[in-house]
Every structure is written in structure tokens, then in C-alpha cells.
A and B are shown apart, each in its own frame.
Chain A
Amino acid sequence: MGWNVYLVLWCGVFGAVALTGYVRSLAGMTRAQRTVRTTGRIERVDEPRHGSSPKDGIAVVVSFQDPATGEEFTVTNDGERGERVGVAWTGREIGVHYPPGRPHAFRFADHPSEGGRGLGWPAFALFLVYAGPVTVAAVERGWPWALVGFCGPWALYAAYHLPGNVRDRNRRIDALDAMAAVPGRVVAVLKSVSTDDDGHTSTHLVPVVSFTTLDGRAVTAYCESALPDPAGSRGLDVTIHYTPHDPAVFVLDVEAERRSWKRDMAVNVVGVVIIAAAAVAGVIAW
């Protein structure tokens, strides 16, 4: 009796939240739907200073036009401005979004996109509504209910998306073969030192590579992996493999990247199998 009252309250509150969210989304009123999304153009790229912080991203000057008023804005990525600009070249198009009527509150996105429907929170509330009865059932009637209740739908969801994920990984592996190779150079190594509550300091190093594409675009990019000794890599000559239609996708070691994607695909499949096995174990023990 006591449990049921709380369960009804739990489901009622989060059900109302989910319903409100879905209604708002249908009416086109969510923040994600109302956000103005436009495309900005990088006008200038400043070379990062060796030893400076990587958290602000590569300093760029971006111009964009407000679709509502037609007004042109020239801005920089100073302070908290959305996604960090990690790859930049003059002329690159990046996403710029802001609340309607407030272009001064702009945020950058690595790629121009349509944006979602703002269903993240309603979906989470719906999950909580579902998790409530499953948890109560697991507590009152035994752990198989938890396995079936949680792993069952999760396994179905993962299995549904598995073919798409495999196709995506295969496409990425194929794209590695089509990459163009150009010489590049590590122009700076950025450093971020942080101290935790216990007084331990940790250092995060980010090499910055610079290369010119075959069609003449001078790219500056953070390169967070694939260098064996990032601390002493300044001035190092490297070979950059990049996707011709988007130099933002580049790697230094094609074979390592290929192995990484294959491993990722295997982990994906094994993960689905494990979740499905847990759900089946729950059904057997029911």
C-alpha cells in the first residue's frame, strides 16, 4: 500500500513532465526548436601560443548573418561560446546558434546542423516513469524483474541500432582509404594544469598541428592523440591524412585508426550480446 502511493506519485509527476515536454515539442515551443541556427564563416585564425591553455579552443574571428534581420555580425570565440573550436581554417563554415532575437548570446557548434526537437528531457522523464514500476517490481518480486525490465528494452534498442552502427563504422573505415596525405607540423603544445582537492596536480597536453590541404586550405587543429611524446613534439614533422571534402576529419596513423574502429565495432556487438544475455537470464530465472 505504502509503496503504491509513492509509485503513483513518482509516475504522476514525471509522467506530467514528459507529457508537457512532448506537447511543447509538438507545438514547436521547445528551446531547441526555437533556437536560431545559422552558418558562420571563419574569417581569421590565430596560431595558438605554445604553452597556453587548450580549453578556449583555437582563437578565430567568425562572421555570421542574423536570418531574421539580415544584420551582419563579426565575433570571436571569447569565453563560454558553446563547442570548442578544435579545427579551423579561413573560410571554414561552422554552426552558430542563439535564442531568437538575441544574436549577442551566440554559441558555436562544430558543424552546422538542423538541431533536435528538444525531446531529451521528456524522454528522460519517460524513462523515469518506466523505471519506477520496474524497480518496485524488482524489489518486491525479485531481481529477474530488474534484468528483464531494464536489459530487455535496452537490448531491443541496441539491436535495432546495431546494423546502422556497423554500417557507420564500415563507412568510416572505407573513408580512411580515400584520405589524402599531406605534410604537417606540430606548431605548439598547449598545456592545462589542474589541481584537485587533495593537492594532486594533473597536466593535460594538446599538440597543435598545422597543415595545408591539396586545395590550399591552411588548417590549424588540435591533435589530442597519436603522438607518442606530446610534451616534446613541438616542431615535429608529421604526415596528415585528411578527408578531402572535410579536412576537419584527419588522422596521423591510418592503420591505428582502422584498428580502433574495428575494435569499436567489436565492442558494440559484444555489448549488445551481453545486454541481451542479461535479459534472457532474467527471463529464465523468472
Chain B
Amino acid sequence: MPIIAGASPPGHDSPAALARGFLTGGVVGASPAALVVGAVTGKPPLFVAGLVLPALCGLLFFLAGRPRRIREAAAVPRTALAVVESLQAVRGEASDIPVRFELSVAPDDGPSYRVEITQDFNLVDLPDYRPRGVVVVQYPPDRPWRVRIVKRPTPQWEERAAAARLDSAPATVTVTAPPEGGAFCLVAPLGLLLGAAAVVLPFRADLVGQDVTAKPPSAARPSVTSTSSASSTSTTVVSSVSGTVALGPGRSFLDKGELGRALGSLTRGGDTRRALTVVVRERLLSIVFSPSGTRTPGFDPRTLPRSRFSALVEDATATLGVRSPRTWQITADRLTGSLVIRVAVSGAEGTASLEADGQGRVVRRAPAR
């Protein structure tokens, strides 16, 4: 059927429509992904972002569509007479059923045109509408295809409709709504995929780590996302379950600032991962991290009293009868409830140790045996 499309309004397949489709798809993909990833990895900000994002997007669309809505609302609808060419009740068991009409609209100030509409009518009122009957219709001046039959016309229009004899418009001048932009359907899935990927990919390490820690501890092994950086002076290896820093020759973790730097490199990025155990030796630092999402008694390794470590090693060396220490080791954990720091020194006389609390105060000494 030849069709005269109404003046196509801007927006279909325009860059703005593409952006809207992409943004909608992106939010639809990113929001559930953020909710799931936030819940699985135990990151509340991500979870909250998953809730806030759709609200922000909705607000953005609301504000963006406001000028158009104001423009459309300001337009005075046009009233005209129309002839019912045909009508057909679509379906329904309720008292109000949708009815499809084919109308010939005869505007006072323009040529007649045909249009197809669907409008709800009460079954009792339906006999008022018959083919070739004249009805009063209204439509927005800029969208002549959005015709609505006026069920209760004013007395003036009622008289006009009763007295009018209208001819049908040729079927060739059918006005229809411009087709919906197909590009929207094209970019929306793309946005959805990219939105979901943008959330999932940065956190894939945490998601994979979750899988590893879900297995028995013996099955846990360093994640494939382990990163290694080697320089001339130290080597750092971090995985989702542990981290180690090995210093080069001639350096010691008792040197000023050395331990702080090493701990920082293992917990960088503001990540507040908690540690199960921290072991410090002359040139080797090891941390076993608490599995995420479990309630094991961990602690923040950055809160250790690092400045006291050197004094504790000296204390153990000087007061425990170990006169020629060959090795020393500091172990920190809070498996018994409170943070306990154990310092062990070994030498020709045997092994001696002392225990200190979370502030580095000595609470127990065990001389060399």
C-alpha cells in the first residue's frame, strides 16, 4: 500500500538515539553485573553502584526528554471530523476492549487522509460506531497519525458530526507513524555487552580468587593472575591468597622503612585485604591473606608495630642468651583472638623466642634451650 509517512520527527537513528540505545544497553548490562560482582566479591560500593546507576540513568533520560515533553504538551490538539471506514474488535474479555479503526480524517485546513488506530471502547458504547459513520477526532498537529476518537464531543462538534456528509479519503494517502529506528536495537545489545564487561573484567581476579578459595585449602594455589616484578634489589610475588617480597643482598627488613615499603607493595591500591599470618625474616616477607568472604580472624598487616620490630629482635638477641644469632624470624597472627607477635632467634646456643602484643610490648620470654 502506498504510504505517505508523516513528517519524520528528529530522533530516529540520529546520534542522540544511538547514544540513548547504547546507554540504555550499557546500564542494563552494567547494573546487574555490578550487583552480582559486588555481592560475590563483598564490595558494598560496587553493589550500591548497581542500584544507583539505573536511577541516575532514569533521571538523565527524564531530564533529557523534558524539553520534548514540554513542547508536545504546549501544542493545542486539533479537532476534526472523520469517517469510519472499518472497525474490528481485537480481543478481550473485559468490558473495555481494544478496537482497530480505519478512519478517513477530514481536517478543516488540509487534505483528507487515512489512518489506522486502535482505541479501547466499552462494549455497550460500541454500537454507536458503525462503518460510514461520522466521528469527531483529535490529534497533535505535528503527529497526525496519533488520532484519538473523541467519545464525548462538545455540543458544537456533535452538531457538526450529525450534519456532516464526508467522502472517504483515497487509500493511497494513508498516514502512518515513522518506523522506529532499527539502529537502537543494534547498539543496545552492544552497550549491554560492553556495560557488563566493563564491570566484570576489572574484578575477574577477585571472581577467580573466590572460586579458588571455595575449594579446600589444600587445593588453593596462587592464582593465575599472580604478578611478578623483579628489580635489582627485590622481588615481589602477589596472588589472591598470599604475597611474598624477597630483598636483594645487603638489605634487611630491619632497615628503616624497608618493611613499610614491602607491606605497601603487597597491599597497594588501597586494598584493605586482611592477613592471616605475616612472617618476616632477614630478607623475606610472607603474608598469607584471609580468604575473602570468610570470617577467619585476620588483621590489617599495615597496623603491625613495625617500628618496634628492630627493638624486639635486639631484645630477643640481647636478653635470651643467644650471643651469636644466625637467623631471626618474626611471626604475627591473631589466631587466638588478639594479635600476637612471636620473635624467634637461632644461634649456636639453640633457639630462643619472645612474644609481644599488638603494640609491640613484650608479654612472654622463652630463653634458649
Contacts and interface: CB of A to CB of B under 8 A. Distances in A.
Nearest to A81: B152
B296 interface: no
Given A195-B93, A201-B93, A102 B74 contact: yes
Given A61-B154, A192-B96, A193-B94, 15 more contacts: A6-B48, A49-B124, A50-B124, A52-B122, A53-B96, A74-B154, A74-B155, A76-B152, A78-B152, A79-B148, A101-B74, A102-B73, A102-B74, A104-B76, A193-B93
Interface of B: 44, 48, 73-74, 76-77, 92-96, 122, 124-125, 148, 150-156
Nearest to B55: A13
Contact of A193 (B73, B76, B95, B148): B95
15 contacts: A46-B152, A49-B124, A53-B125, A56-B151, A56-B152, A74-B155, A76-B152, A76-B153, A79-B148, A101-B74, A104-B76, A191-B95, A192-B96, A195-B94, A201-B93
Q: Which of A53, A79, A102 has the most CB of B within 10 A?
A: A53
A2 interface: yes
Contacts, number: 59
Nearest to A5: B45
Contacts of B77: 104
B73 A59 contact: no
A51 B156 CA distance: 27
**Most interface-central of B94, B95, B151 (chain A CB within 10 A):** B95
B155 A52 contact: no
Interface in A77-105: 77-79, 99, 101-102, 104-105
Contact of B156 (A46, A74, A102): A74
B153 A78 contact: yes
Contacts of B48: 6
A75 interface: yes
Interface residues of A, number: 30
Interface of A: 2, 6, 44, 46, 49-53, 55-56, 59, 61, 74-79, 99, 101-102, 104-105, 191-195, 201
A78 B96 contact: no
B152 A51 contact: no
Contacts of A99: 73
B154 A75 contact: yes
A6 B52 CA distance: 11
A8 to B, nearest CB: 13
